[in-house]
Amino acid sequence: MPISQTAVRISQMDKYYGTFHALKGINLEVAKGEKIVVCGPSGSGKSTLIRCINRLEEHQSGTITVLGTELDDNLDNIDEIRRETGMVFQHFNLFPHMTILENCILAPKLVRKQSRAEAEEVAMEYLTRVKIPEQADKYPGQLSGGQQQRVAIARALCMKPEIMLFDEPTSALDPEMISEVLDVMVGLAQDGMTMICVTHEMGFARQVADRVIFMADGEIVEEAAPETFFTTPKHERTQAFLGQILGH
């Protein structure tokens, strides 16, 4: 596969917290436009894995190459990768002292050096896409959780990233707000965005994922297309996990 078709390539990557071996010999290759869902029990290292991709966590050995650039101690490389990688967090992490619009235009203005007018135009376009343009002048604290998460997605998209990372984007939401966020994510997937999502929304996985990755104890246990993954899981830990979350 030529480099230009690979979005993320991780090989033999290890991550430690002190002496705790959090990720063990991870190998993963994500093609451009591919949608990956990562799932697994709590503490299995799935969040740590995607946080390594934009260097919110540092790995200790092995290599991570994002869009042809290798993540090492070179700060310029890290900045370049972060510019091209959007991330959505479990707790939204909007900037509470800025309005919704200011949240969206901050990085394009400072990092992409766009003019204010240009950045605002792009921001309004994405806010319209996540269906909350009318909230542009409010502060995050005035919005519901679902609305905040949609703003967080719009904010990441304003940087026009090549890859979007989702770290349990619906886990902190009230049940009635989950679907509004998932709808936005499905729309994004249909537009061909490269997406790596840590989520327990198996309906979403079935609908959009090209591959589902199951992790346990810091290792990738099973990796399969969704229909195979849900109907004929091979590994017994996968079967147990699916039994638990689909059982009720």
Partner 1 sequence: MDATLPRQTRLRALRTDYFSTRLDTLVTLGFGLLAAWVLWSLFDWGVLHAVWSAENREACGHGAEGACWAVIDARWRLILFGLYPFEEQWRSALACAVIVLTGGASCAPWFWTARRLAALWVAGFVTFYVLMRGGVFGLTEVSEQNWGGLSLTIFIFASVTLLGMPLAIVFALLRRSQLPWIARTMGVIIDAIRSLPLLSIMFTFAIVLPFVLPGWMIGDKLHRVIAGYALFFACYQAEIIRGGIQSLPGGQEEAAQALGLGYWHRIGHIILPQAFRNALPATINQLVITFKETSLVVIIGFFEILASGNAAYGNSEWNFAHVEVYAFVGLIYFVFVFALSRYGAYLERRMAVAER
The residues of the shown chain that bind partner 1, judged by CB under 8 A, are 54-56, 79, 82-83, 85-87, 89, 91, 93-98, 106-107, 110-111, 139, 141-142, 155-156, 159, 165
**Which pair of tokens denotes residue 10?**
């991780």
To partner 1, the closest distance from the beta carbon of 106 in angstroms equals 6
Looking at the Cβ atoms of 79 and 227, the one nearer to partner 1 is 79
How far is C-alpha 40 from the geometric centre of its chain's CA atoms? 15
Looking at the Cβ atoms of 112 and 206, the one nearer to partner 1 is 112
CA distance 150 to 146: 6
To partner 1, the closest distance from the beta carbon of 237 in angstroms equals 30
Helices then strands, each counted (H, E), the chain: 9, 10
Nearest-5° Cα angle at 194, 190 to 197: 95
To partner 1, the closest distance from the beta carbon of 88 in angstroms equals 9
b vs e for 133-165, b when ≥16 Cβ sit within 10 Å of the residue's Cβ?
bebbeebbeebebbbbbbbbbbbbbbbebbbbb
To partner 1, the closest distance from the beta carbon of 64 in angstroms equals 15
User: Which residues are CB-neighbours of 175 under 8 A, at least 6 positions away?
Assistant: none
Looking at the Cβ atoms of 44 and 54, the one nearer to partner 1 is 54
Looking at the Cβ atoms of 72 and 227, the one nearer to partner 1 is 72
To partner 1, the closest distance from the beta carbon of 49 in angstroms equals 15
Q: Residues for the chain: how many in total?
A: 248
Looking at the Cβ atoms of 28 and 143, the one nearer to partner 1 is 143
